[in-house]
Amino acid sequence: EAGVTQSPTHLIKTRGQQATLRCSPISGHTSVYWYQQALGLGLQFLLWYDEGEERNRGNFPPRFSGRQFPNYSSELNVNALELEDSALYLCASSSGAGTAGSNQPQHFGDGTRLSIL
């Protein structure tokens, strides 16, 4: 069974640019989660998509957005990049139970490392 795949592995941008990160969930999983892992800050929840809809978002500005496609893959877009957006962005998937409080564990990809120069 293929795991969660993320692309690209690394992404280098400059301030003010826009970044697009992609995630393919495990086959059969309908929920996709995005996290930001910045140095010293642990995992910060960004977004949760299930069945094509945004179900919940963390405490991030609107320039962080995304979507989920009919095949359950997902995209995270970050506009007007700032230096503090430099981080590892992790995507996870689970077989969503229809609520955010799912008892299903999340399966993570290896992340996209976004560096802002």
Where in 17-36 is the site for other proteins (CB under 8 A)?
33, 35
- The C-alpha atoms of residue 42 and residue 116 are separated, in whole angstroms, by 19
- Cβ proximity to other proteins: between 2 and 103 the closer is 103
Tell me the residue length of the chain: 117
**CB of 19 vs other proteins, minimal distance in Å:** 19
Q: Which two tokens stand for residue 40?
A: 């010293």
What is the footprint of other proteins within residues 35-94 (CB under 8 A)?
35, 41-43, 45, 48, 56, 58, 90, 92
Q: How far apart are CA 9 and CA 6, in angstroms?
A: 7
Q: Is 111 in the site for other proteins (CB under 8 A)?
A: yes
The span from the CA of 72 to the CA of 27, in Å, is 9
C-alpha of 24 from chain center: 10
Name the site residues for other proteins (rule: CB under 8 A): 4, 33, 35, 41-43, 45, 48, 56, 58, 90, 92, 99-103, 105-111
